[in-house]
Amino acid sequence: MNPTKSAKATVIKRVGMASIHREISIEAPATAVWAAFRDISAVHKRLAPGFVTDCRMDGKDRVVTFANGVVVREVIVNVDDSERRLAYSARSPNLAHHNAFFQVIPNGEDRCRVVWIADLLPDDAAPTIGGMMEEGSRVMKRTLESVRP
């Protein structure tokens, strides 16, 4: 493995595929943070307002519009309440492969960590996706810490 930095997101290059890892410390209870992630159709309202400008459901998929104009179909693979884990796969003409997950991990009563990992092809898409994940992480942290249950 050859770890490199891309827009502060850790990008680990493996044989033929990039893996981007983000970890966010959130000053809010895991139950409240998970409730926001679990509300899969409201990412533009509850998680990343401004960074995500629209989100609509199309069957089991969600169609997400980002502030930079990019529109992506995300296939919701799994929502696991017991593990507080949301797995999805983004579909885009610019990506041959993408799978990712968010996991909310309690860290005491009033704080938690959010782990966000994405694996993607082509490898050279990592700087762009990593930059978007970094910005999305900043917006999610600010949003989740501003809402108290």
The whole-model pTM stands at 0.86
Residue 110 pLDDT: 95
Mean pLDDT of the chain: 90
Per residue in 43-74, pLDDT (tens digit) is 999 999 999 999 999 999 999 999 999 999 99
Is 97 exposed, middle or buried, given 0-12, 13-18 or 19+ CB atoms closer than 10 A?
A: middle
Task: Domain ranges for the chain, please list them.
Answer: 2-146
Helix or strand or coil: residue 117?
A: strand
| Domain 2-146 listed as CATH 3.30.530.20 | yes
Per residue in 85-109, pLDDT (tens digit) is 999 999 988 899 999 999 999 999 9
